[in-house]
A = this chain, B = another copy of it.
């Protein structure tokens, strides 16, 4: 592995990256995928589905649907959690926005990429349009994850420092590769697919905090899909779209280490590093929530017994979530004080706990104002120390070594199902939600993954 470079990489090792990726994608077969990889694909799908269904009634989606209505084509694919069926290109956009609208989707922690959001909307739409076996679906999904995360590792953290939203800037490769694999493109067409994706990065970080953030994975999904269908017909592009002097990597990031894109390709799987959020807010406060829930459950804590709550947190927590008096649910997500109070009172922190009414609830507000937080550089990013002093003088303390949802302490399958059911509540009947869960859990055995799309529509 070569050292990072400030200059356009033209070293021998970085030549032919697009070609090497194309060869790998063409050659990879389902039977080669380790059982753990197949299992993580199912878990990623289940997590994504819950988040997309949950986000499907957000105002952002209503607006986007109204805007594109005059242009949509044949009803080819489901908008999960809704009645509309759109052509696959627009279904990819809308389901891509749903994926990310709650900031509750999966995360590759090394690169800050949300790998499902650009890939799964495209694959699920194609499955409904063309039919697709579960084996083909999982293979394409794993490859889409693999390529986008490897490319992200080559350019992060500089990509984000420049101002790109990594999920939009590399997600286009994930969607393109997944589509190309499903279409069965040959090596030459795969290289052109990569080139067409390379010319369409999406998303600057200035858009965070607006509806445009969740537009990024949606548009990346479309861009990748378009790249592959153009290349399928013979549309030509560069043979070195990623690595050329004026190709993607040098244009989006002044520092990179392109060798990591192909180092050990096929010997490891990025999807095994995928993580899922148990709580509907930024990862930075997850250790605090985890610790509060632990103490609450271990001691059957009643809020009226609590004198005060003291937190030792990683310094980043106070940089990002130090809002003292949040008023809206969104503001509540940026208040470590509010988040701790919600976790102790509710014993959970799903999207429902971040309703405006919860954040303004007098019980929450009263406890929130008795929470203090101290920055401690010895506390890691996925750690927190929670001390709860009771009115009777006792002090309960818990140190979170690794927050739930981290790679070291992943969400259990049961927790993922619980997250799904929470998100689907009020959007689809419980029986339908259960059926969708079951389909996701056996996706690799399905004869036709289009079944998932049909099962995810709500009339």
Residues of A within 8 A of B (CB): 60, 63-64, 66-68, 70-74, 76, 87-90, 129, 162-164, 168, 195-196, 198-207, 210-212, 215-216, 219, 226, 229-230, 232-238, 240-241, 244-248, 250-251, 254
If A60-B235, A210-B238, A247-B163 touch, whether A215 touches B196 (CB-CB below 8 Å) is yes
Residues of chain B within 8 A of A76, CB atoms compared? 70-71
Could you show 30 A-B contacts with beta carbons less than 8 Å apart? A63-B233, A64-B235, A67-B226, A67-B232, A68-B226, A68-B229, A70-B73, A70-B76, A70-B87, A71-B73, A71-B74, A71-B87, A71-B89, A73-B87, A163-B250, A168-B199, A195-B210, A198-B206, A199-B202, A199-B203, A204-B246, A204-B251, A207-B238, A207-B241, A210-B236, A210-B237, A210-B238, A211-B236, A212-B237, A215-B230
User: How far, in Å, is A180 (CB) from chain B's closest CB?
Assistant: 13
The answer for the CA separation of A206 and B242 in the assembled complex, in Å, is 9
The answer for the CA separation of A244 and B212 in the assembled complex, in Å, is 15
- B206 x A63 contact (CB < 8 A): no
Residues of chain B within 8 A of A210, CB atoms compared? 195, 236-238
Interface of A: prevailing SS? helix
Residues of chain B within 8 A of A87, CB atoms compared? 70-73
User: How far, in Å, is A254 (CB) from chain B's closest CB?
Assistant: 8
Q: Which residue of the partner chain, among B73, B163, B200, B246, contacts A202 with CB atoms under 8 Å?
A: B200
- B199 x A246 contact (CB < 8 A): no
Q: Which residue of the partner chain, among B60, B164, B204, contacts A198 with CB atoms under 8 Å?
A: B204
11 other A-B residue contacts (CB within 8 Å) besides A73-B73, A207-B237: A64-B233, A67-B226, A70-B87, A71-B73, A163-B246, A163-B250, A163-B251, A164-B251, A206-B240, A206-B247, A254-B254
The answer for the CA separation of A296 and B89 in the assembled complex, in Å, is 54
Pick the 3 closest A-B CB pairs, nearest first. Answer: A163-B246, A163-B251, A205-B246
Residues of chain B within 8 A of A60, CB atoms compared? 235
The answer for the CA separation of A216 and B201 in the assembled complex, in Å, is 12
- A199 x B195 contact (CB < 8 A): no
Q: Which residue of the partner chain, among B212, B235, B254, contacts A195 with CB atoms under 8 Å?
A: B212
- B207 x A195 contact (CB < 8 A): yes
Residues of chain B within 8 A of A200, CB atoms compared? 202, 219
User: How far, in Å, is A131 (CB) from chain B's closest CB?
Assistant: 14
Residues of chain B within 8 A of A70, CB atoms compared? 73-74, 76, 87-88, 129
- B67 x A238 contact (CB < 8 A): no
- B67 x A251 contact (CB < 8 A): no
- A248 x B68 contact (CB < 8 A): no
